Amino acid sequence: MKLWQKNTDADANVDRYTVGRDREMDLLLAEADVLGSLAHTRMLETIGLLTADELQLVQKELKAIFAEIKAGRFTIEKDVEDVHSQVEFLLTQRIGEAGKKIHSGRSRNDQVLVDLRIFLRRELFEIVQEILPLFHTLQRLSEEHRHTLMPGYTHLQVAMPSSFGLWFGAYAESLVDDMQMMLAAYRITNRNPLGSAAGYGSSFPLNRTMTTELLGFDSLCYNVVYAQMGRGKTERIVAQALSSVAATLARLAMDNTMFLNQNFNFISYPPELTTGSSIMPHKKNPDVWEIMRGKCNLLQALPNQITMLTTNLPLGYNRDLQLLKEQLFPALADIRDSLRMARFMLEHISVREGILDEEPKYNYIFSVETVNNLALQGVPFREAYKQVGLDIEKGTFRPERTVKHTHEGSIGNLCNEQIASLMNQIVSQFGFERVAQAEEALVRP
């Protein structure tokens, strides 16, 4: 039987098709579901829908269920439709009539909304905790290799002097912008839809401000219709933040794949971090970076997938929204795993020094330096450019290999401290500690 059934069993084919993978996905929401019920039932007692004794029974058993979930002993039974139903059935089975009262003033629609927001804010916290060590690794490598020159490219043609300090530092600063996207997603996610019920509110005198504070949300989703409309939009915004991180990782993966190639030979990794060929004994394939590039390119398509799933849905809840979990939940795991692997690989990277000194093809990389030096001596820039260009054509160009880049963000002035300060400013705005304290207070015996 389902929560919505009266005396008729659902057809087995209908059940199989409509429930799909929802039980599997809902296991990930179990802790969040219990947290929502702990807050909701405390509110119900204040408006007279639970007695003090009933609340004590309900709270004690919900906390026991929460402990079972944490210990990995919680399952959703085959004939139970979702996590909300499983928790309510367990509660009713164990404490009787009081368990049947916990659904007062809410619908499974706002239950899943609050579950998702609690779950997603936790996931965003976990992703932030993976971004930060990668950021610090990149900054450390940038400082270590600040004086190690490498070719810079435009159109994949040798262009100007760069450095490994610049290369590593560029990806660190890219993560700063990604973190700004994560913060925006977190701010939108961390609002409370509980009490919107099926999307049109309730005739019970619910205290939605109370549940907002108990659950550690920043604010309410005030309008009950918009609370329901936020389903799909919230997931899309989270997906856009993931996509931003994925774009950084995909590009980093491509650079590593390219620079490890023998035609570049700028970097190397220990043999155990690469793979070989079944017939070519010399091969050291960058499989980790290639898999990461593929995964992250797929992740960049996620916002569009969610958009296509939610485009032109009519007002109110629609069952299509259930499928969002199957798209988003695996992506959250993939981005965390990719962040961890990127850091792991970079912790073992070796950088080749003296690249620009070894091959004549890199002579022309200093042409801009020569033009600029002539300009500093008073030669008009366009005349200096023409003079150096003619020397290159005649084969008489002799580069000056001294690089004097001193402005902010250049080879000689990486501004890593300022970039770190930007990252710290963004991270300090999340307020994860306050949310953790609220959740801990709800489950405390």
Residues 143, 286 within the same domain: yes
- Shortest CA distance to 332 belongs to which of 299, 380, 290, 357? 299
Which helix (H) or strand (E) element contains residue 399? Answer: none
CATH of the domain at 119: 1.20.200.10
pLDDT value at position 276?
67
Q: Which residue has the tokens 């829908």?
A: 49
Residue type, 2: K
- Reported as a single tens digit per residue, the pLDDT across 36-89 is 999 999 999 999 999 999 999 999 999 999 999 999 999 999 888 899 999 999
CATH of the domain at 26: 1.10.275.10
Residues 333, 306 within the same domain: yes
Name the pLDDT band for 17 (thresholds 50, 70, 90). Answer: low
Q: Which domain holds residue 192?
A: 108-153+163-201+222-354+422-434
Is 400 within a domain?
A: no
User: If you ran DSSP here, which 8-state letter would residue 9 be given?
Assistant: P
- Reported as a single tens digit per residue, the pLDDT across 251-310 is 999 999 999 999 999 999 999 998 866 667 677 889 999 999 999 999 999 999 999 999
Name the pLDDT band for 424 (thresholds 50, 70, 90). Answer: very high
Q: Assign residue 233 a region: left if phi > 0, alpha if psi is -120 to 50, beta otherwise?
A: alpha
The helix/strand/coil state of 77 is coil
Name the pLDDT band for 168 (thresholds 50, 70, 90). Answer: very high
Q: Assign residue 43 a region: left if phi > 0, alpha if psi is -120 to 50, beta otherwise?
A: alpha
Residues 226, 189 within the same domain: yes
Residues 256, 280 within the same domain: yes
Is 2 within a domain?
A: no
pLDDT value at position 218?
97
Domain boundary, last residue among 76, 101, 126: 101
- Reported as a single tens digit per residue, the pLDDT across 183-211 is 999 999 999 999 999 999 999 999 999 99
Tokens matching residue 158: 């040798």
Could you give the number of structural domains in the chain? 3
d(CA 285, CA 267): 13
Is 83 within a domain?
A: yes
Is 280 within a domain?
A: yes
- Shortest CA distance to 337 belongs to which of 299, 286, 305, 285? 299
Rounded to two decimals, the pTM is 0.91
Mean pLDDT of 11-38: 82
Residue 1 clears pLDDT 50, i.e. is over it: no
d(CA 224, CA 207): 13
Cα distances from 40 to residues 47, 112, 192, 280, 373, in angstroms, run: 11, 13, 12, 63, 71
Is 406 within a domain?
A: no
Residues 134, 241 within the same domain: yes
The mean-pLDDT minimum among 261-270, 336-345, 401-410 falls in 401-410
pLDDT value at position 190?
98
